[in-house]
Structure 1
C-alpha cells in the first residue's frame, strides 16, 4: 500500500483504512507491505512491523506541495525493484507516478479520495494539478477505488470511468466517560468539533454560528492545521469565551470518549468523500449535525441534522439543547447507520480486488481520461438513502494461502493475494452501472 503517511494510523482517513484493512488481510494470511513516511527527528528507529504488516520507511520533502508526491516517488522506486502481486496507491495526486508501475507490469488500483481540487488551501496551480491528476488516474490505473457513492458518480459523469466502491468502516464503540474529568467536562455537557483547520471543513462557520447562539454548553474544538495559520487565526477570532480549543488529541481512548459523550457532534467536512471522523462519531452514538453535502447525507440519511450557514448552526444548537430526549434518539439512529459500515466487509472487498489485480482480471482498455465538459465542476445530487454497507464487492472467495506482495506506492498495504478461482471479466469488482 502506497501514498499515505503509513501506520500506526495517527492522521487521516487513508491511514485508518490502511491499518484497518491491512491488519485484517495479514490475519487472513496475506503478506502486506505498507510504505510509511519517516518521522523527522525520531529518537528511536521506526518499527519494521505493525499488526502483521511489514513497514518500509522512506523520507519525504517537508513542503506541503511536495510532501506526498516526493514520498510516493521514493516508494515507487523501491517497489519496482521489490516485486509485488498487486499495488494499491492512495490519492489521485500520485497518478503521475503510475506509469512506472505499469512499466514494471505491477497491477495497480488507485484510491482517488475526494475532490481535492475543491480545497481552498490550494491555489490556482494546485487546483489545476489535482484536476489533471484525476484524469491521469483514470487513464493509468487498472482499477479506481471510490469511498463514497458521490465520488463514484463524479468519476462516472466526468470521465465515463467505472469504479469499485469500497467505503470506510465505522467501529461501534462504548468507551465510557471516566476520562472526561481530565478536561473538566461532563457527559452530554458539551458540543464537539473534530477537524483539521481548513476552509472546506467549515470550522469557522461552526464557531461563528455557535458564538451567535445562546447555547449553554461549551463548544469543544479538537484539531489544528500545520499549514493554515491565517485560517486558524480567523477561527480563534470568531470564538467567544465558551469555545475551548484543545488542539490535536492523539489519545484515541480520550477522543472516543469525547465523541461518545457529546451533546452533539458538529461535522463540517464537505469535499473528502466518506469521512472517518464522521463514521467514528456515529459508531460512538453521537447525535450529528453535519454540513449539507451529498457525502454526509449518504452516511447519515435521516439520522442527522444539517447546516450550511452560521445561522443554521445557531438554530440547530438551540433545537438540540431544547430536546435532550431527541438527542438520545438521534444517537441511537446514528449507531444503527454505523452498523452498515463494517471494516470486515471492507477488507473482503480489498482482498477480492487484490485477487483480481494479481490474476490480471480487469478490463485492459481504460477510459481515455478526457473530461466531459458538461460535468467539469459538478457532482451528482445527494443520495440520502445509501447505506455504507452498499459496497461493491467482488464475489466472496475462500481465503487462499498468503501471497507475498511487494510494498506498494502510497502507504497502503501491498497485498500478495493467493491464487483464486479464475473469474470472468464480467465478475470484476469495478462497479459498472
Structure 2
C-alpha cells in the first residue's frame, strides 16, 4: 500500500519483515531552521561517509537559508566557519572505544548550554545514550543508524554487546531513525517493527580527471585494479589480495587503506601479497584529487565491504565511471542494481581477475551503466531535500517516539545474505 502525502510518501510493505519506510518525494519550504550535526569527525570532510554527508548536506542547507552547526574533532583546520556552516571544535579521547562517545558527550553538553537548535541529526547508533539529554532540552533528534556496526570484527564481545544495546536504545529514544539503504530499513523493520527515514548518500560524478597523479605513481589510465578500504575482515581485503595473487592478471592491484587498530590483519594481508610485484600498497590516501584520479582511471574497482548500507566508496567508483567487482551481499547488489561481477571468496576473485582483462567491452559497458545509475539514483541535492524535509517535520513536532519507546528486539535473527 502506498499512502501519498504532500511532503512524503510512506511505503508500507505487506511482508512480515517490513515496516513503513519514509522517503522524501517533495520539498515544501518553511521558516529558516537552526540544525545541529552531532557525532562525526565533522568538517572539512577528510575521512568517511558520515563526514562527507555532513559536508554535502550541510552546505546545501546553508544555501537554502538554514543555520547549520557542525561539531568537529581532530581537524587540522581550526576555522569557526566552513562553507557557511558554524564549526564547533571539541576534543575527544584518542582511544578506539571512547573517541566517538567522548566527543559526542561534549558536543551534547555544548548543545544543551547554548542556543537550542530546532532539530539535531545525531550520527552513529553508538551515540544513542545522549539522545534523552537532547530531547529533555526540547531538541527533536533524528538518529542515523549507519550500518550493522556490531558485526564488525574490530569490536570484542563487550563492544558488540554495546552496539546491539545502543541500537535498541536508539529505537526507543529517537524522534526519527535514519537508514541509508533499503536493507538497513528492512533490518530495523524486522528486528524492532519500527519505521525509518530512507536517506541515502550522494555520488560524486567524476569526469575529465587529469592523469598526472596516477602517472606519478607509475600507473597507466585504465591499466590497474583498485581497492579502497580500511583493513578490516568484513571488508575482505585479505580475500581480494589472495585472489589477485593467485590470478593471471597482468594489470597491477592498487590497494589504498590501512588499519589503525588491526596490526595483525594488516600483517596477514602483507603476507598474502608476498613479494608479488603486481600488488602495490599505497597506504592511506587523503589527497582527494589523487583519490578521484585513482577511481576514475581504474580498470575495475574491487569492493569488499559487507556490513554497511550504502557505501560512499562504492558510490565514488560508480560516479567515476568504473566497473565494479563487489562482495555478494544485498546492500551492494541493491546499490549496483546487480550491474557488477560479484564474489564470495578468493576463488571467485581468481576467476574475475583472470578473465576480465580480456573483456574490455563488457567492463566499459558496466562502467557506463554505473555512472548513469549514480547520476540518477544518488544525487546530493535529493539527499539534502530529505534532510531538510525531516528537519522541518521534527521542528513541527513530528516524532516516532510513542511508537518506538516500548520496542523490543525480535527473537528471530535477520537474514544478512
TM-score by length of 1: 0.85
Report whether the alignment pairs 1:345 with 2:378.
no
> 176-185 vs 76-85, which deviates more?
176-185
Report whether the alignment pairs 1:95 with 2:124.
no
1:258-303 deviation per Cα after TM superposition (whole angstroms, max 9, x unaligned): 1111111000011011000000100000000000111100111232
- Identify the match of residue 187 of structure 2 among 134, 154, 165: 154
> 153-162 vs 365-374, which deviates more?
365-374
Report whether the alignment pairs 1:176 with 2:213.
no
Q: 2: CA distance between counterparts of 1:108 and 1:378?
A: 29
| Residue number in structure 1 paired with 2:39 | 3
Equivalent position SS for 1:302: coil
Matches within 5 A, 1:256-295: 256-295=292-331
Q: Give the direction of change, closer, same or farther, for the CA distance of 1:275–1:364 in structure 2 (3 Å limit).
A: closer
Report whether the alignment pairs 1:310 with 2:346.
yes
| Residue number in structure 2 paired with 1:65 | 97
1:167/1:346 contact within 8 Å kept = yes
Report whether the alignment pairs 1:371 with 2:409.
yes
Q: 2: CA distance between counterparts of 1:186 and 1:48?
A: 41
1:303/1:337 contact within 8 Å kept = no
Q: 2: CA distance between counterparts of 1:56 and 1:187?
A: 41
2:175/2:398 contact within 8 Å kept = no
1:126-166 deviation per Cα after TM superposition (whole angstroms, max 9, x unaligned): 00000000000100000000000000000000000100000
| Residue number in structure 2 paired with 1:412 | none
1:44-95 deviation per Cα after TM superposition (whole angstroms, max 9, x unaligned): x611011111000100001100100010000001101121100000000001
Equivalent position SS for 1:105: coil
Report whether the alignment pairs 1:49 with 2:81.
yes
| Residue number in structure 1 paired with 2:149 | 116
Equivalent position SS for 1:298: helix
Q: Give the direction of change, closer, same or farther, for the CA distance of 1:238–1:364 in structure 2 (3 Å limit).
A: closer
| Residue number in structure 2 paired with 1:396 | none
1:5/1:36 contact within 8 Å kept = yes
Higher relative contact order structure (alpha carbons within 8 Å, sequence separation ≥ 6): 1
| Residue number in structure 1 paired with 2:391 | 354
1:138/1:366 contact within 8 Å kept = no
Q: 2: CA distance between counterparts of 1:332 and 1:347?
A: 26
2:225/2:252 contact within 8 Å kept = yes
Report whether the alignment pairs 1:225 with 2:259.
yes
When you count strand as a share of all residues, which structure comes out higher?
A: 2
Q: Cα distance, 1:191 vs. partner? A: 0.5
Report whether the alignment pairs 1:131 with 2:164.
yes
- Identify the match of residue 244 of structure 1 among 280, 285, 298: 280
| Residue number in structure 1 paired with 2:27 | none
| Residue number in structure 1 paired with 2:221 | 187
| Residue number in structure 2 paired with 1:200 | 234
Q: Cα distance, 1:364 vs. partner? A: 4.6
Report whether the alignment pairs 1:85 with 2:118.
yes
| Residue number in structure 2 paired with 1:419 | none
1:87/1:107 contact within 8 Å kept = yes
Q: Cα distance, 1:319 vs. partner? A: 2.2
2:173/2:401 contact within 8 Å kept = no
Report whether the alignment pairs 1:296 with 2:296.
no
| Residue number in structure 1 paired with 2:31 | none
TM-score by length of 2: 0.88
Q: 1: CA distance between counterparts of 2:382 and 2:189?
A: 24
Q: Number of residue pairs matched?
A: 375
Q: Cα distance, 1:369 vs. partner? A: 3.2
Report whether the alignment pairs 1:333 with 2:369.
yes
| Residue number in structure 2 paired with 1:210 | 244
Q: 1: CA distance between counterparts of 2:355 and 2:107?
A: 50
Equivalent position SS for 1:274: coil
- Identify the match of residue 17 of structure 1 among 42, 53, 63: 53
1:300-335 deviation per Cα after TM superposition (whole angstroms, max 9, x unaligned): 123211001000111111221111111111110111
CA RMSD of aligned residues (A): 1.1
